[in-house]
Chain A
């Protein structure tokens, strides 16, 4: 990936400056609500994700993830970060997960509807609102806020929030992905 060819990547942006501290584009929720695919919805057909098919404003919802100690342990091992707060007491009372741990739940949102031919991650922004704790059931929601082509490569921008089972926002952010054409 050479994201340096994207001129919009050069200036870090904080959400507070652009969104009053909250990413407004993502639909808030008070509870986890029904599963994303209710009985009234047709089965997901998973068409191939293409730049033309992707719509700005399109929304995605992930499945829920139960944050278990094993999920935290696996992630901590993958990134070789064994901070004592991840398995023992922390200033928040009990263990917490690495703040970035749920990033892939958000990043993979488009896979809930499409077969994705792959791509490269160009930019990532996180805001860590509340600690992620074992026992939480988390879900991410996202909305495509932009798509554009730069130097012949297609990009999509998604804003997301990740919440626990009570609708408390844990993490919010925005990411830019380049799409492989095939």
Chain B
């Protein structure tokens, strides 16, 4: 798997986006299924004001993790950091596109920590999660 070297991590460079379809079955596999649970119980989700069960917000951190592991490789699996704020619910059946733009490079222990601004957008172009992620490159 190709990973990034310091020279490739140019500030302002956009990472190849990832597109994720999120059917209920994958939410079930992620979160489990039980009654009175906003991730699997449609009636409960509606009672709480949502049109459908919600994908667990943590799934978006997994998508960003995938983006970063593709980008920096081992330096994300060991030494990576991720900070996200969840600003809009993701519903079962939504499609998210995960974006990243290189924001900063800082020396760290003889390597370079590359920080990426990351965000997820739904099929309506609305941001659902925003944050930063970083990993170490050689």
Binding stretch for chain B, among A24-32, A119-127, A159-167: A119-127
Within 8 A of B (CB), among A1-53: 1-4, 9-10, 12-15
Given A122-B85, A124-B57, A128-B78, answer yes or no on A98-B65 (Cβ-Cβ < 8 Å).
yes
Contact A79 B30 (CB under 8 A): yes
Inter-chain contacts of A83 with B (CB < 8 A): 1, 66, 69-70
B83 touches A100 (CB 8 A): no
Rounded to whole Å, the gap between the CB of B44 and the closest CB of chain A is 8
Q: How large is the interface on B (under 10, 10 to 19, 20 to 34, 35 or more residues)?
A: 35 or more
Expressed in whole angstroms, the minimum distance between the Cβ of A133 and any Cβ of chain B is 11
| Interface size of A as a range | 35 or more
- A77-B25 Cα distance, complex, nearest whole Å: 10
Total number of residue pairs linking A and B with CB closer than 8 Å: 137
For B82, give its contact among A4, A10, A77, A100 (CB under 8 Å): A100
In the bound complex, what is the Cα–Cα distance between A125 and B83 (angstroms)? 4
Binds B, one of A55-63, A85-93, A138-146, A147-155: A85-93
Chain B residues near A75 (CB-CB < 8 A): 29-30, 62
CB distance from A75 to the nearest CB of B (A): 7
Tell me whether B65 and A100 are in contact (CB under 8 A).
yes
> Would you call A92 and B74 a contact (CB within 8 A)?
yes
Is A94's beta carbon under 8 Å from chain B?
Answer: no
A131 touches B58 (CB 8 A): no
Contact, CB under 8 Å: A99 / B86: no
- Contact (Cβ within 8 A) A91 B74: yes
| Contact for A124 among B27, B54, B82, CB less than 8 A | B82
Q: How far is the CA of A180 from the CA of B67 in the complex (A)?
A: 32
B131 at the interface (CB under 8 A from A): yes
B1, A84: Cβ atoms closer than 8 Å? yes
Q: Which of B26, B61, B79, B86 contacts A100 (CB 8 A)?
A: B61
Q: With both chains docked as a complex, state the minimum distance between the C-beta of A87 and any C-beta of chain B, in angstroms.
A: 13
B57 touches A78 (CB 8 A): no
Q: Verify if B14 is at the interface (C-beta below 8 Å from A).
A: no
Which of A1, A15, A74, A127 has a CB less than 8 Å from the CB of B57? A1
6 of the cross-chain contacts (CB-CB < 8 Å) are A75-B30, A78-B29, A92-B77, A99-B69, A121-B56, A126-B83
What are the 8 A-B residue pairs with the smallest beta carbon separation, nearest first?
A: A78-B29, A78-B30, A12-B83, A121-B57, A79-B62, A9-B85, A91-B74, A128-B80
List residues of chain B with CB under 8 Å of any chain A CB: 1, 20-21, 26-27, 29-31, 36-38, 44, 48, 54, 56-59, 61-63, 65-66, 69-70, 73-74, 76-89, 131-132
7 more A-B residue pairs beyond the given contacts A15-B81, A100-B58, with a C-beta to C-beta distance below 8 A: A1-B87, A79-B26, A81-B63, A99-B76, A103-B62, A120-B54, A127-B80
